[in-house]
Amino acid sequence: MTKPGVVLGTEDAVVAAAAAARHFSFPPPRTGGDSCRKLAAQVDLGAAAVTGSWLDSMKASSPRHKLMAPLAAADPEHDDWMERHPSALDRFDALAAAAKGKQVAVFLDYDGTLSPIVEDPDNAVMTDEMREAVRGVAARFPTAIVSGRGRDKVFDFVGLEELYYAGSHGMDIRGPTADPNNPNGKEARSVLCQPASEFLPVISEVYAALVDKVETSIPGAKVENNKFCLSVHFRCVEESAWGALFEQVRSVLKDYPGLRLTQGRKVLEVRPMIKWDKGKALEFLLGALGYGDDGRGDEVFPIYVGDDRTDEDAFKVLRARGQGAGILVSKFPKETCATFSLREPGEVRDFLRRLVLLDGTNT
Ligand SMILES: O=P(O)(O)OC[C@H]1O[C@H](O[C@H]2O[C@H](CO)[C@@H](O)[C@H](O)[C@H]2O)[C@H](O)[C@@H](O)[C@@H]1O
């Protein structure tokens, strides 16, 4: 079946899109375009892997760019990037017009999107204001959290039963356990997807090995068990020890060819070697909501908000479907497949509050 792009519902949308800057096109072209090159979250772990290239990549995961503050507005790099990835708040009207008449569905990454990045992953709480904004959106639209965290852990942080949760980078999906529009009782929707369940024993084994080898020998390193995947944090590790940390991780993983290594923000992620990522989770959830390839796929307007390399897989899915809005949370110009940008979680909260006010045709 051919998938049509989003059909703008009003004249306003056409005018708004036409007014967009020269490098910016919305709805996005289905094949990606210049700004959507292959973004490698995964790095080769084989014999040819050079520690130097890993180090470059680890440094790139924590860029020290100039802040995108108003003062930086004269910066050509900043201007060019903002032209290609305008603020979702500034372009909210165009986005709302494109969504008109469609079912909005909202997908939210957690760390760096709903909660600010902090040194200790166990302290990455979200504010009550953010929780209320998410609660408001979930009362209007199907809403999912898509996180690298273990599903139970991210649920503990968010604490809203009416959401879908896709933990472990989408390898552990569960539907809502309560319906905000059905105050008379709980509704446990039977959505469940665990494509990597056979890897549970090996992940536990590697977790123990990494704690033993990396945490004990590299000061500041922290290994986090996210159930179907693991995080090796180096945010609190001296940069001079990053190479040693990578070598330790590689020496553990060499005995586990079924696992692969990817990168996030000052974190190495150990994941099963299966074709599953946040993009697949997004496709699964859209299908579960009745908007898969085989059904009413063109009737939905998915909005995906995320800050990390792993979120690029979801942005790519939206590009490929030629619909919805990918929104990258970043203060710095970054290569991305997202269409829009927001600078930090405070802007995400403001965006969610505006979404709640969309007129009634989007429910
Ligand atoms: O997909 P996400 O919800 O963004 O999860 C990705 C990883 O996020 C967490 O690590 C990141 O946030 C930490 C807390 O702010 C920060 O200390 C760390 O440097 C970041 O990489 C989480 O701890 C990881 O397990 C997730 O995989």
Looking at per-residue confidence, does 173 or 9 come out higher?
173
Full set of structural domains in the chain with CATH: 84-117+129-195+277-362 (3.40.50.1000)
Tell me if 124 CB under 6 Å of ligand 1.
yes
Ligand 1 atom at minimum distance from 111 CA: 4
Tell me the backbone φ, ψ of residue 147, rounded to 5 degrees: -135, 155
Residue range 184-229, pLDDT digits in tens: 555 556 778 999 999 999 999 999 999 999 999 999 999 999 999 9
Tell me if 308 CB under 6 Å of ligand 1.
yes
Average pLDDT in the chain: 85
Q: Residue 93: its pLDDT value, please?
A: 95
Residue range 6-43, pLDDT digits in tens: 222 333 333 333 344 445 677 766 655 445 655 544 55
Number of Cβ within a 10 Å radius of residue 352: 23
Tell me if 312 CB under 6 Å of ligand 1.
no
ipTM of the complex: 0.99
Q: Residue 5: its pLDDT value, please?
A: 27
Find the 231 Cα to ligand 1 centroid distance in Å. Answer: 8
Ligand 1 atom at minimum distance from 169 CA: 1
Find the 191 Cα to ligand 1 centroid distance in Å. Answer: 25
Lowest average pLDDT, out of 100-114, 160-174, 287-301, goes to 287-301
Question: Of these residues, 90, 93, 109, 298, which one is catalytic?
Answer: 109
Q: Residue 293: its pLDDT value, please?
A: 79
Angle of helix 312-321 relative to helix 278-288, nearest 10 degrees, comes to: 50
Widest Cα–Cα separation across the chain? 62
Q: Residue 64: its pLDDT value, please?
A: 54
- Closest residue (by CA) to atom 26 of ligand 1? 148
Mutate to test the pocket of ligand 1, among 111, 168, 203 (most ligand atoms within 8 A of CB): 111
Residue range 307-337, pLDDT digits in tens: 999 999 999 999 999 999 999 999 999 999 9
Residue range 128-147, pLDDT digits in tens: 999 999 999 999 999 999 99
Q: Which residue has the tokens 């590009």?
A: 319
Q: Residue 198: its pLDDT value, please?
A: 97
Read off the pLDDT band of 298 (50, 70, 90).
confident
Tell me if 235 CB under 6 Å of ligand 1.
yes
Tell me if 151 CB under 6 Å of ligand 1.
no
Find the 161 Cα to ligand 1 centroid distance in Å. Answer: 22
Tell me if 109 CB under 6 Å of ligand 1.
yes
Interval 114-129 mean pLDDT: 97
* 3-state helix/strand/coil string of 122-188: HHCCCCHHHHHHHHHHHHHCCEEEECCCCHHHHHHHHCCCCCEEEEHHHCEEECCCCCCCCCCCCCC
